[in-house]
Structure 1
Amino acid sequence: MTITQLQYVLAVAEHQNFTKAAQKVFVTQPTLSMQIQKLEDELQVQIFDRRKKPIQLTETGRKIVVQARNIVNESDRIQDIVDQQKGFIGGAFRLGIIPTVMPTLLPMFLNNFIKKYPKVKLKIEELNTEAIIERLKEGHLDAAIAATPLELEGIKEQVLYYEPFVAYIPKGHRLDSEEKLDVESLDLDDMLLLEDGHCFKDGIINLCKASKNSDADRFQLESGSFETLIKLADEGLGMTLLPYLHTLDINEAGKKNLKMFKEPVPAREVSLIYNKSELKMQIIEALRTSISGVIKGAIAFQNVKIISPLSPKKNTNEKAGL
């Protein structure tokens, strides 16, 4: 049994096709098939059911893939140890970022990061939280930036910053005259939300569930972008909530419609998340340092309440003096 054979097995398990898997690992299809067959003969088990289209893992094959992924990850750690010992920060690094963080955070740190660490070859993907978790567990991402807490087995979370929720309330709205908002004033009936799949939407619903207006099944409109939500609000179709960093680029007219919440300000926790195997930690730490360096100047709120994207019970967790 070799590491290379296990890498071939993982490629076929991912692509469910021998030809595509061979292309992925840069060998010919006959070479890949022969090595996998050799492994199956050695183990005296069938890893793949080749009769099905697309190719499927057998019950035993599924267990082997889980262990193979662990072994391949651990073998990669040897190079990590060498790189860290040499102080080398470089190589390919796959980073996932959720859509509600990508457009605001990425421009803040990316240029400085690639100049400071030119040997790191970043591949950045915009993915929702569900896709990020799946790809992290399967080893297709090295790290990700997402709203937390997620509290998932095998995934570590390193908090980057706490980002307050800001209300966008157009003229003539029932809350227009309020200087600062109470969470209890929110009502999902006139709330414009992002479409399903965005964890920021889930955080808003959890926030509203904590208030007296907790009917999460009634809302008017959903959209895929904050820009659209703002335009809909300006048309008198309701109000919306925005992440604080997104409000920095709103035009002066739009800024007049922004309202902060009373303390403790509801906020989301944004973290760098990665597999517990801690591969490529030198790059992860470089990312954390780069982001922390720029974010401190942008967010300076002292008393916030963290709203979880997953469970309303997290609404009781307060972070003070941050």
Structure 2
Amino acid sequence: MNIRDFEYLVALAEHKHFRKAAEACFVSQPTLSGQIRKLEDELGTSLLERSSRRVLFTDSGLQLVSQAKRILAEVKTFTEMASLQGKDMSGPLHIGFIPTIGPYLLPLIIQPLKKAFPDLELFLHEAQTNQLVRQLEEGRLDCIILASVAETEPFIELDMFNEPLMMAVPENHPWADKTELDMVELKGHTVLSLGDGHCLRDQALGFCFAAGASDDDRFKATSLETLRNMVAAGGGVTLLPQLSVPKEKVKDGVSYLKAVNPTPSRKVVLAYRPGSPLRKRFEQLATFISKTVNISQ
């Protein structure tokens, strides 16, 4: 057996589907299936129940999946330690971003990062918070950039910036000409929001609920751009992170206002595993990003 066999096993446990697991490992389905069967022969035990149309692991298989995850995490740490034999800011770095940060932060930092650290090889991954946390725990990501939430408490967090949330309303809305909106004015109104799984949903709604607003349960967006388009179509009002807001006050049917009393915001952090030997690299990266991103409070 080898490390690649463990990767196949963990991928199959995560995706519970041979084709999807094979795609995640960049191999053909017959290759992955054959290696799993070869691993079973070598271990002398069945890892899967093959009578079912679904991928079901035996008790022995589940135990070995857990051990395989630990082994892969140790291999990841070993690789990180080896990479430190060179410069702090050189070599591969796998970074995860949540969808409400990645599309707006990356255009601001990618070129400056490449210029400042030409020897750093960046691999960028986008997923929701719970997926990123799991991938970080399993060693498949080196660090993640997201809004600080309870799920990141087991990790070390490096604060980068506080990002205000701005009110977005249709351009013909009674509030559209305002430059600021007191949050108390939301009382009795409904707001559009993202669907479950987005940490921004809970963060934004927390401020809205405190102001006396309610969630519009007739619609749940899958992205900030869907929210923006719904506002432009006159479907309601919402809060959007400042990085996603254009410089113009009114653009494409949406008017943007600064929300005040209080100003809703989220803390954007870089999180990494406590035992990672790449601490200095993460600290340099977090400092660079916080200096590069211009956030006006």
Both structures adopt the same fold (TM-score exceeding 0.5): yes
Instruction: Please list the CA deviations of residues 102-122 of structure 1 after superposition, one character each: whole Å capped at 9, or x if unmatched.
Output: 222101111121233334332
In structure 2, the partner of 1:206 is 206
1:165 touches 1:265 (CA, 8 Å); kept in 2?
Answer: yes
Structure 2 unpaired stretches of 5+: none
Corresponding position: 1:244 with 2:242:
yes
In structure 1, the partner of 2:266 is 268
Matched residue type, 1:60: S
Distance 1:231 1:154 in 2: 36
For the aligned residue pairs, the C-alpha RMSD in angstroms reads 3.7
Instruction: Please list the CA deviations of residues 252-300 of structure 1 after superposition, one character each: whole Å capped at 9, or x if unmatched.
Output: 54499332233542101112223444264455344323312202xx114
Corresponding position: 1:102 with 2:102:
yes
In structure 2, the partner of 1:24 is 25
Partner-residue secondary structure (3-state), 1:241: strand
Q: 1:166 Cα deviation (Å)?
A: 1.0
Structure 1 unpaired stretches of 5+: 302-322
Distance 1:19 1:126 in 2: 17
Instruction: Please list the CA deviations of residues 28-55 of structure 1 after superposition, one character each: whole Å capped at 9, or x if unmatched.
Output: 66566434432x23xxx54433444444
TM-score by length of 1: 0.73
Partner-residue secondary structure (3-state), 2:150: coil
Map 1:153-302; keep pairs closer than 5 Å.
154-170=154-170, 173-176=173-176, 180-187=180-187, 189-213=189-213, 215-216=214-215, 218-219=216-217, 221-247=219-245, 249-254=246-251, 257-278=255-276, 280-281=278-279, 283-295=281-293, 298-301=294-297
* Pair 233,188 (structure 1): closer, same or farther in 2 beyond 3 Å: farther
Corresponding position: 1:37 with 2:38:
no
2:146 touches 2:268 (CA, 8 Å); kept in 1?
Answer: yes
Instruction: Please list the CA deviations of residues 82-130 of structure 1 after superposition, one character each: whole Å capped at 9, or x if unmatched.
Output: 3224335444433221222122210111112123333433222332223
Instruction: Please list the CA deviations of residues 206-238 of structure 1 after superposition, one character each: whole Å capped at 9, or x if unmatched.
Output: 21222333x33x456444454554454355443
The worse-fitting range, judged by mean Cα deviation, of 99-108 and 70-79 is 70-79
1:188 touches 1:208 (CA, 8 Å); kept in 2?
Answer: no
Q: 1:179 Cα deviation (Å)?
A: 5.4
Instruction: Please list the CA deviations of residues 186-207 of structure 1 after superposition, one character each: whole Å capped at 9, or x if unmatched.
Output: 2474423334443323222221
Partner-residue secondary structure (3-state), 2:264: strand
TM-score by length of 2: 0.78
Distance 1:19 1:206 in 2: 36
Identity of aligned residues (%): 28
